């Protein structure tokens, strides 16, 4: 009985950890990476920097499956 409880608790902890990684940690890392990439891209543009940033940021999110 005690072994079953330990196994159930470990399975629940693994599921919660996996959900946190998939829905919170991974997307935040992707967004930070896309933001840095977009900022560098927009700095290289001389005109319409905000439009260049938005385009690159949205393209990057699409590439990583977040949009």
Locate 66 and state its tokens: 């977040």
Q: What is the pLDDT of residues 21-64, one digit of tens each?
A: 999 999 999 999 999 999 988 888 766 788 889 999 999 999 99
Nearest to residue 36, comparing CAs of 26, 28, 25, 48? Answer: 28
Look at the chain and count its residues: 67
C-alpha Rg value of the chain to the nearest Å: 19
Is the model's pLDDT at 67 over the cut of 90?
A: no
């Amino acid at each position: 009985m005690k072994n079953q409880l330990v196994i159930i608790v470990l399975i629940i902890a693994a599921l919660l950890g996996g959900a946190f990684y998939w829905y919170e940690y991974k997307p935040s890392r992707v967004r930070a990476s896309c933001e840095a990439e977009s900022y560098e891209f927009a700095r290289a543009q001389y005109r319409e920097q905000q439009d260049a940033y938005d385009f690159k940021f949205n393209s990057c999110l699409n590439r990583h499956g977040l949009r």
